[in-house]
Amino acid sequence: MSAGRLVVCPTPIGNLEDVTLRVLRALREADVVACEDTRRTKVLLDRYEIATPRVRCDEHAERRATPALVARMLAGETVALVSDAGTPLVSDPGAALVRAAIDAGIAVEALPGPSAALVALVVSGLASDSWRFVGFLPRRGGELEAVLRDPGALVAFDSPRRVAGTLAVLAGLDPERPAALCRELTKLHEEIVRGSAAELAERFAGTEPRGEVALVIGAAQAPAGDARTGPDAASVEAVRRLVASGARPREAARVVAGLTGTAANALYRAALDEGDS
């Protein structure tokens, strides 16, 4: 590997005090900071008196900026990669630069830090041992409905302009589905609204909440009687066959649940129990 390296640095999602000491040190020691928005990053750097030069590396400029940044790292320099908020590459730019660095044999180091998806999941009260992050929800109705039909727990980002419509679609599919709308996380006006899909759809109908929005959707409740009878044998066998073909057990259960309407967690447990017997 070259002497240079790429350091992926998560930055605060709102409160500037949430930056880690390791990230601050990496930003100080880097030769250049690759930013989604140089102006947004300047606010953080100025707060901690960091004078490292910045270059733009957003979704439009990343492919143009990547060759020069890779050349600098091959020459021995350190590049710190940041997005406007949270962890780069998680619904943010950076994938092209990371891939190019790896392909060039450059060391890539990812530091732990803030993530709006994880904060929303925890504060929603809907955290589970199995959940899926879907990034920004699709705009088209058919694609959106397909995502929301997933019976497992979901974490998503949504636009304040579209979230009322998203909740209306969710309520139409399953009015009792538990959900939480998390707005302006870690900021002064943080707001967490929890309830059923129908309750949230009514609360935000015709309104446009301000700020960044993360939506957490709890796992769909099994129909009455499922707790007694459990999933049918054919569904469990389908999960076992997917696992035998190399699929991960939870992912296999989620796929079969989406096709049959059976609770994913019940399928997962039944498949494991049968495999252990």
**Residue-wise pLDDT tens digits, 11-34:** 999 999 999 999 999 999 999 999
The answer to whether the CB of 213 falls within 8 A of the CB of 159 is: yes
Q: Looking at residue 195, what is its pLDDT?
A: 95
130-162: burial string, b at 16+ Cβ within 10 Å, e else: ebbebeebbeeeeebeebbebbbbbbbbbeeee
What integer is the mean pLDDT of 205-220?
92
Q: Looking at residue 37, what is its pLDDT?
A: 94
From residue 46, give the alpha-carbon distance in Å to each of 12, 53, 193. Answer: 14, 12, 34
Q: Is the pLDDT of residue 276 over 80?
A: no
From residue 218, give the alpha-carbon distance in Å to each of 104, 119, 127, 166, 171. Answer: 41, 15, 8, 15, 13
What integer is the mean pLDDT of 249-269?
82
177, amino acid identity: R
Q: Is the pLDDT of residue 87 over 70?
A: yes
Q: Is the pLDDT of residue 1 over 80?
A: no
Q: Which pLDDT band, with edges at 50, 70 and 90, does 84 fall under?
A: very high
What integer is the mean pLDDT of 231-239?
87
